[in-house]
Amino acid sequence: MIKFFLMVNKQGQTRLSRYYEHVEINKRTMLEAEVIKNCLSRSKDQCSFIEYKDFKLVYRQYAALFVVVGINETENEMAVYELIHNFVEVLDKYFSRVVSEALNFYELFLL
């Protein structure tokens, strides 16, 4: 099961966050900071799956954009990895270019 979905730029700023389980606001900021730090510090040669606390992180980098999904331990990492790619392809088709400005526009549709 997916616990959360984050889109982050290379500077570590969260551009989009969606939680599928209740997490208190102050814990969200701490969680996002730790998750972002873990993902941004890894090299491109390292695996895109990270065991973190009681769940796994699956992430992909697209230029200056990181997409990070937190999943439980029973979820298939490769399926989530492909889900991220499909999501970014849809954004790319819809906005013609997936960049930070387009994500700001996309956030309006999620509210």
Task: Tell me the pTM.
Answer: 0.81
Q: Which domains does the chain have, with CATH numbers?
A: 2-95 (3.30.450.60)
Q: Percent of the chain scored above 70 by pLDDT?
A: 86
Q: What is the pLDDT of residues 50-103, one digit of tens each?
A: 998 889 999 998 878 899 999 999 999 999 999 999 988 887 777 766 555 555
- Quickly count: other Cβ atoms within 10 Å of residue 68's Cβ: 25
pLDDT band of residue 111 (cuts 50, 70, 90) is very low
The residues near 9 (Cβ < 8 Å, ≥ 6 apart) are: 15, 64, 65, 66, 100
Report d(CA 36, CA 82) in Å as an integer: 20
Q: Say if residue 20's pLDDT is above 90.
A: yes
- How would you write 40-60 as a 3-class SS string? HCCCCCCCCEEEECCEEEEEE
pLDDT, residue 97, reads: 62
Q: Percent of the chain scored above 90 by pLDDT?
A: 47
| Least confident stretch, 5-9, 22-26, 38-42, 94-98 | 94-98
